[in-house]
Amino acid sequence: MKKQKSTYTARREEAQRLRQEVKHLTSELQELQFRTLSPEDVAFLDPAMQRIVVENRLLTSVAKGEQLKVATAQSLLAASLGPQESHPLYTQICLTKSWSERRKSLMAVRQQKLQDAYGFLMGRFEDPDKPHTSDHRYETPEGDICAVHAEVIHFPRVESLDKVWEAVIFHYNNIEIDISEKLGHMTVRDDYDSIEGIVHNIRVLSHSENCTSVESSIVTFSHFFTEDDEGFGGQPCGVLSIDCIDEDELYPYYPEKRVRLDTSGAIVLTANREGDGELVVTLRRAAFVKLYNPQFPLSEATRQELQAGIGRWGDVLMKAIRSYVYGAL
């Protein structure tokens, strides 16, 4: 006769059986869950992958910390930017009432202005094959607003380097028209002098949306160099230097009526062919722009509008070049 199990033993065996069944069902559930995972989620279950994820998170945290340090350094750099007089593209230019002396003064600085423009822009950008734009703005203790701008822009699929150079010159020969059309600001230009087509002294007077007058007394020095010209890289290039007139006895500024806008800048155009033979023109541009603190009453809204638009003439330049090179935009 078979001995009957005690109640305790029966319950213990039943509990053990149930534990085994739970273990089995849990295993089946995990298998079903695993089958529904995406390949990416499956990979994350790998211990090696989990270590990589942890390392990446650590690296990301470190990178963010370094970016914060860079941002802080850039902020300090912007705060310590020097006055206009210290910018490499600025030259003090003072003109008298004598036309012969005026021309002599401008021609005396022309070659140096072109060399400074070429040297500064060719050394300014670490990798000119990549597009680049930087813009720093700050206010001086006198209340003037300054902007330091630099950019590299590429023009692929163009006819020639000459075509883009023509666009640059065409803009400065018609700057008042471009500003009027593209910004809606009524703008006029006074041509004070033109020397052999390579030096131009003009005054641009523009009226903003609120009818505030902004004036710029400008001189441009330009030349298209060939591979035979020494000191300019041994390759064809177009160089334009633009600067402000500090003092003009014949055509003085009117700070009691107009807001003065100074620009010290340069453009260098070079060209190269890609692997497929496509011609690409590279435009390097830099500018120091200074909007003087108005010497007459202005509303705060008008003042902020003028400050916000300090770089808009540069935007007009680039739109004009694209329109000339690629057709109407």
* Residue 74: both structure tokens together: 């850039």
Listed residue (264, 230, 236) closest to 120, CA to CA: 264
Other CB atoms within 10 Å distance of the CB of residue 203: 17
pTM greater than 0.95 (yes/no):
no
Distance of CA 191 to the CA centre of its chain: 30
The one-letter code for the residue type at 228 is D
Q: How far apart are CA 216 and CA 291, in angstroms?
A: 10
- What pLDDT was estimated at residue 25? 80
Of 179, 218, 225, the closest CA to residue 320 belongs to 179
For 87-326, which CATH class? alpha beta
Q: Give the Cα separation of 287 and 165 in Å (integer).
A: 18
Pair 248, 98: CB distance under 8 Å: no
Domain limits of the chain? 7-79, 87-326
Q: Residue ranges of the chain with pLDDT lower than 70?
A: 1-6, 8, 33-34, 37-38, 40-46, 49-50, 53, 63-85, 230-231, 328-329
Per-residue pLDDT of 300-317, as tens digits, reads 998 888 888 888 888 999
Q: How many CB atoms lie within 10 A of CB 29?
A: 10
Please check whether residue 224 is in contact with residue 322, taking contact to mean a CB–CB distance below 8 angstroms: no
User: Phi and psi dihedrals of 289, rounded to 5?
Assistant: -115, 135
